[in-house]
Amino acid sequence: YVNKDSVYSINYLGTLINRLQKNRNIEALIVDDSSMGRKRVVNKLKRTMLTIHEAATAEDALIMLKEQDGIELVMIDYNLPGMNGFELCKMLRDMPNHKELIIIGFSGVGDERLASRFLKSGANDYIPKSCSQEELLCRVMQNLNMQDYIRTYRDASNQDFLTGLHNRRFLMASIPRVQANAKRHKQDYAVAMLDIDHFKQINDSLGHEAGDMVLKSLASELKLRLRESDILARTGGEEFCIVAENCNREQAAILFDDLRSKIEKNIMVSHNDTSIRITVSIGACCDSVLDFDAMMLMADNNLYKAKRNGRNRIKI
């Protein structure tokens, strides 16, 4: 007897999961000492395009997770030789680099306490091995969906909506790592505050929309010119902060003056046949041990001096 609704539903769920995959290839890991057990799960997932890895022990699973850092979903059998499913689950949950891992416990033993024990160990979900393909797909789907929502909102909370650059919140959250690196390697890092000169005039003469276009264009220009490891954030209306690691005062002076001069030369935006050009003023400072608030304050004071000295210049 084939239930047509259920076949339809399974195909549909498979399609949904594949659609979720569109922008990234989702990798899953099945941890079960029985090869039959692994095969059964793999078969149930076959209408999805998940890339599936297999491990027979907790120890193998840990190695695989280290080697394949793209794995987002782990299904863990309770009964494993050596470290059991709960222990593996707990261990993964406590690892800072696996905070977002989706863990689904599963077991063939019909003990109803297994579900709560898995959940208490940090699993996102639990499935008995006897569950239908439809239930498995539903749960995988829901967990992936939830992860997607979390990512979307987390990324949004770190992003400046207008320019897509990082925001102040992201910047501040990144600073402890930057400072630790600077102290450990005894290397200076640079903090720069960049502010558009007479930006109000652009808004006043050409409109707020043109002003927004300038901000976006400046953001891409800055991103293009900076290193991948530099932190670039829009911290205020027309104010940007750059943090460059492993950068001394001389290097910073060259870097920021280069930025300033490139911005001066480029046309930012063409708006209703008007070519909009801008200049920026930059205040910066470099150190390896000063706390970040003090660095920001110094950079800000230098920005103020750059403005007072005539704008379109850097002060470090």
Residues catalogued as catalytic:
238
| Candidates 45-53, 81-89, 195-203, 289-297; binding stretch for ligand GH3 (CB under 6 A) | 195-203
Binding mask 145-184 for ligand GH3 (x = CB under 6 A): -----------------x----------------------
Q: Which residue in 41, 211, 219, 243 binds ligand GH3 (CB under 6 A)? A: 211
126 lies in the site for Mg ion, by CB under 5 A: no
Binding mask 218-237 for ligand GH3 (x = CB under 6 A): -------------------x
The least distance separating ligand GH3 from the CB of residue 238, rounded to whole angstroms, comes to 4
192 lies in the site for Mg ion, by CB under 5 A: no
- Is the Cβ of residue 129 or residue 234 nearer to Mg ion in the bound state? 234
Q: Which residue's structure tokens are 């103020």?
A: 304
Q: Residue 191: CB partners within 8 Å, gap ≥ 6?
A: 241, 242, 243, 284, 285, 286, 292, 295, 296, 298, 299
Q: Which residue in 199, 240, 256, 292 binds Mg ion (CB under 5 A)? A: 199
The least distance separating ligand GH3 from the CB of residue 315, rounded to whole angstroms, comes to 14
Amino acid present at 312 = N
The least distance separating ligand GH3 from the CB of residue 158, rounded to whole angstroms, comes to 18
Q: Residue 290: CB partners within 8 Å, gap ≥ 6?
A: 298
Q: Which residue in 139, 238, 260, 282 binds ligand GH3 (CB under 6 A)? A: 238
- Is the Cβ of residue 93 or residue 223 nearer to ligand GH3 in the bound state? 223
When CB distances are held under 5 to 8 angstroms depending on the partner's kind, the choice from ligand GH3, Mg ion, none that residue 239 binds is Mg ion
Q: What is the DSSP string of the chain?
A: ---HHHHHHHHHHHHHHHHHHTTS--EEEEE-S-HHHHHHHHHHTTTS--EEEEESSHHHHHHHHHH-TTEEEEEEES--SSS-HHHHHHHHHH-GGGTT-EEEEEESS--THHHHHHHHTT-SEEEETTS-HHHHHHHHHHHHHHHHHHHHHHHHHTB-TTT-SEEHHHHHHHHHHHHHHHHHHT--EEEEEEEETTHHHHHHHH-HHHHHHHHHHHHHHHHHHS-TTSEEEEEETTEEEEEESS--HHHHHHHHHHHHHHHHHS--EEETTEEE---EEEEEEEESSS-HHHHHHHHHHHHHHHHHTTSS-EE-
The least distance separating ligand GH3 from the CB of residue 235, rounded to whole angstroms, comes to 11
Closest CA to 191 of 70, 73, 302: 302
The least distance separating ligand GH3 from the CB of residue 18, rounded to whole angstroms, comes to 39
End-to-end CA distance of the chain: 78
Size of the site for ligand GH3 (CB under 6 A): 16
Token pair for 278: 């801008």
When CB distances are held under 5 to 8 angstroms depending on the partner's kind, the choice from Mg ion, ligand GH3, none that residue 66 binds is none
Q: Which residue in 33, 87, 212, 245 binds ligand GH3 (CB under 6 A)? A: 212
The least distance separating ligand GH3 from the CB of residue 233, rounded to whole angstroms, comes to 14
- Is the Cβ of residue 200 or residue 262 nearer to ligand GH3 in the bound state? 200
Q: Which residue in 80, 115, 175, 196 binds Mg ion (CB under 5 A)? A: 196
239 lies in the site for Mg ion, by CB under 5 A: yes
Instruction: Give contact residues for Mg ion (rule: CB under 5 A).
Output: 195-196, 199, 238-239
Instruction: Give contact residues for ligand GH3 (rule: CB under 6 A).
Output: 162, 195-200, 203, 208, 211-212, 215, 237-238, 307, 311
